Structure 1
Amino acid sequence: MRVVVVGGGIGGLALGAGLRRRGFEVAVFDRDTDVAATGGYHITLDERAQSALRELVAPQIMERLLASASALRLRDRDAFWDRRGRLLGYGPDLGHDSSVDVDRVTLRTLLADAVGDDLHLGRTVTGVGHDEDGTPQVRFADAAPVPADLVVGADGTHSLVARHLAGGPTNSPAGIIGFSGRTPLGDLSPRERQRLGPRSGLAVGPRGAALYVGFLDPVGNAVLDAPELRMSITDGPTYIWGAMFPESATTDTLRHLRGDELRAALLDRFRGRGWAEHTLEVIARADPRSVAAFRFNAASTRASDLAPWPAGRITALGDAVHATPPTAGMGAGAAIRDAADLLEQLSEAADGAAALTVAVSRFEEGTRRRGSEILTLAMRTVRWILATDTTFGAAATVVTAPILAAATQMRRRPGPRASAQK
């Protein structure tokens, strides 16, 4: 069986690696010329995603991944703050969490190594379809079509393959523009280092302004202590942050800015919404070359709306089917799980086009379930942020924040008996 994968992102490379490992004939085409030249900063892989990845790549690849990853169980509990930096509460205990964080560049590079010569870079696909005999094919502007028994679109949010199958877009803007960057912990003041700590956190203010600060340390918090295998691009404790604002004409103009200019505009936007200066330090001291903008896109949260096409010998996975905002940290993991599921279905399929279609149908059912699950989680945060961009939501955020902060402070303060026993 020959499988052609369109797109060399995380899901496409994971599928290509798994197919190659199982002895399938596979070709992965991607328009990028360098797998390390990728957007994004870090990816969270829960136990389900890690288990799927173990089915797709060789053990030595997993070892290199774990030696380059940061363990969530070694972090403090996540925190929630208000725009003044007041603590509002904590997330669950991470002591038994098996999830890991890894640089997107590291993961993509490892997967590309696993695909090997079956990865074809600098190849832009212009269309998909069938030839006169009904054989699926992938088309290029500057080369002859490539036939396949199965074509898989792993070409992301703006997927050409999924659009062909669905007859139109499979997702839409979620209403938020995101901005991200990297700030080494050591570049922050002692006060902010202590407040933020070795944890991730989220602050949401009125009028839809939000700031996520993710802690990543693949060296000090390494999952596997094997420095000789480490290939993370993050070489010390670092905050990977994401600023979020409701989409508008004004916000959209920021997407065209770069570097220092974009960083300064973000700071002005937060200051205009009353954020305390020290809470913005993680942005102010970020490497300006790391600051970038992107739009949140989302597919429907209803499983029945995902992959809305009859099963056949052209299909899709990952964000091409269930485009997910980064607010759940599960999009890449779901794409990896999609890849593992498709590999399993293909491995168990009998010969023939009809059996292949049945295998694809089973895979697409699983993809719909996975997509609905992660989209539901991701959109909760998106809707929470957007809810503060109303008159009532903004007022409620301002009024409730100090109350929650005071309640949290009271819970942290020892009672008279505890104090007397010290």
Structure 2
Amino acid sequence: MRVVVVGGGIGGLALGAGLRRRGFEVAVFDRDTDVAATGGYHITLDERALSALENLVEPEIMRRLLASGSALRLRERDVLWDRRGRLLGYGPDLSGSSSVDVDRITLRTLLAEAVGDGLRLGRTVSGIDHDDHGAPRVLFTDGPSIPADLVVGADGTHSVIARHLAGGPTSRPAGIIGFSGRTSLTDLSPAEQRRLGPRSGFAIGPRGAALYIGFLDPVGNAALDAPELRMSVTTGPTYIWGAMFPESAATESLRELRDGQLQAALLARFRRQGWAEHTLEVVARADSRSVAAFRFNAASTRAADLAPWPTGRVTALGDAVHATPPTAGMGAGAAIRDAASLLEQLSAVTDGTTTLTEAVNRFEAGMRLRGSEILTLAMKTVRWILATDTTLGAAATTVTTPILAAAARLRR
């Protein structure tokens, strides 16, 4: 069976690695010319994603991943703050967690290595058609078409393949513009180092302003103590932060800015909305070259709305089907689980226990449920942020956060 995967992101590479490991003929095409030239900063892989990955890659790849990942069990409990930096509450106990945070570049590099010469970079897919016998062919902007027994679209939120299957976009703007950056812990003042601590946190204020601050330390908090295998991009304790504002003409204009200009505009926006200066230190002292903007997109939370096409010899996975805002931290993990599920179903085809159409149908049924689960979680936070942008929501946030902060002080 010849499988062509369109898209060399996390899900596409994970599938390509698994197919190669199981002996399938596979080719993964991506328009990037360098797998390390990727957006995003870090990815959380929970127990389900790690288990799926173990079925896709060789044990040595997993060891190198864990040696380059930051174990959540070694962090302190996550926290919730208000815009003044006052503590509102704690997240769950992480001491028993098996989840790992890893640099996106590190993970993509490892998966690309696992795919090997099946990865074809610098190729842009323009569409798909079928031959006279109904077999799919992938079309390129810069070369002849390539036939396949199965085509899998793993080409992200604006997927060419999923759009072809669905007859239109498979996701829409979620109503939030995100801004991200990296700040070394050592660049912060001692007071902010103590307040933020070795943990992740989330701060929210009126009018839809929110700030996520993720703690990443693949060296000090390595999931596997094997320095000789380490290849993490992050080499010291670092905060990977994400600022969020409701989508509007004003926030859309920020997307045109870059580096220091964008950083300054973000700080000005937070200050106008009454955020305490010390809570903005993580943004102000970030590496300006790391600051970037992106739109949150989301598919439907209804399982029945996902992959809304007849089962055939073309399918899709990951964000191409269930585009998920980063507010759940589960999008990449779900794409890996998609890949493992599809591999399992295709293995049954080669064993002669099922047909290709039946295998794809079972895969898509499971993917719909998986996508609906993570989208529901992610959209809860999105809706919470957007709710504070109403007159009533802004007033409620302003009134209740001091009360919650006082209650938190009494509990300590």
Q: Residues 13-37 of structure 1, C-alpha deviation per residue, up to 9 Å, x if partnerless?
A: 0000000000000000000000000
Alignment of 1:12-411 (within 5 A): 12-349=12-349, 355-411=355-411
Q: Cα RMSD between the aligned structures?
A: 1.0
CA distance in 1, matches of 2:217, 2:128: 42
Q: Residues 149-171 of structure 1, C-alpha deviation per residue, up to 9 Å, x if partnerless?
A: 00000000000000000000000
Deviation of 1:143 after TM superposition, in Å, equals: 1.1
SS in 1 for 2:14: helix
Give the AA of the match of 1:152.
V
SS in 2 for 1:307: coil
Deviation of 1:142 after TM superposition, in Å, equals: 1.9
1:2 aligned partner: 2
CA distance in 2, matches of 1:408, 1:344: 47
SS in 1 for 2:207: helix
Give the AA of the match of 2:231.
M
Q: Residues 203-223 of structure 1, C-alpha deviation per residue, up to 9 Å, x if partnerless?
A: 010000000000000000000
Q: Residues 246-282 of structure 1, C-alpha deviation per residue, up to 9 Å, x if partnerless?
A: 0000100000100110000000000000000000000
Deviation of 1:53 after TM superposition, in Å, equals: 0.2
Give the AA of the match of 1:89.
G
How many residues get paired?
412
CA distance in 2, matches of 1:76, 1:140: 48
SS in 1 for 2:232: coil
Give the AA of the match of 2:332.
A
CA distance in 2, matches of 1:129, 1:154: 17
CA distance in 2, matches of 1:7, 1:401: 44
Deviation of 1:77 after TM superposition, in Å, equals: 0.3
CA distance in 2, matches of 1:25, 1:151: 12
Deviation of 1:345 after TM superposition, in Å, equals: 0.1
Give the AA of the match of 1:28.
V
Deviation of 1:351 after TM superposition, in Å, equals: 7.7
Give the AA of the match of 1:116.
G
Deviation of 1:132 after TM superposition, in Å, equals: 1.7
Deviation of 1:229 after TM superposition, in Å, equals: 0.4
CA distance in 1, matches of 2:24, 2:349: 13
SS in 2 for 1:8: coil
CA distance in 1, matches of 2:8, 2:394: 41
CA distance in 2, matches of 1:89, 1:318: 32
CA distance in 1, matches of 2:246, 2:74: 33
SS in 2 for 1:181: strand
SS in 2 for 1:392: helix
Give the AA of the match of 1:223.
A
CA distance in 2, matches of 1:144, 1:68: 39
Give the AA of the match of 2:271.
R
CA distance in 1, matches of 2:410, 2:38: 45
TM-score for the superposition, normalised by structure 2:
0.99
CA distance in 1, matches of 2:351, 2:220: 49
CA distance in 1, matches of 2:98, 2:142: 46
CA distance in 1, matches of 2:142, 2:220: 47
CA distance in 2, matches of 1:175, 1:148: 38
SS in 2 for 1:337: helix
Q: Residues 153-205 of structure 1, C-alpha deviation per residue, up to 9 Å, x if partnerless?
A: 00000000000000000000000000000000000000100000000000010
1:418 aligned partner: none
1:415 aligned partner: none
Deviation of 1:350 after TM superposition, in Å, equals: 5.2
Give the AA of the match of 1:215.
F
Q: Residues 101-131 of structure 1, C-alpha deviation per residue, up to 9 Å, x if partnerless?
A: 0000000000000000000000000111211
Runs of 4+ in 1 over 3 A off after TM superposition: none
CA distance in 2, matches of 1:129, 1:195: 56
Give the AA of the match of 1:16.
G
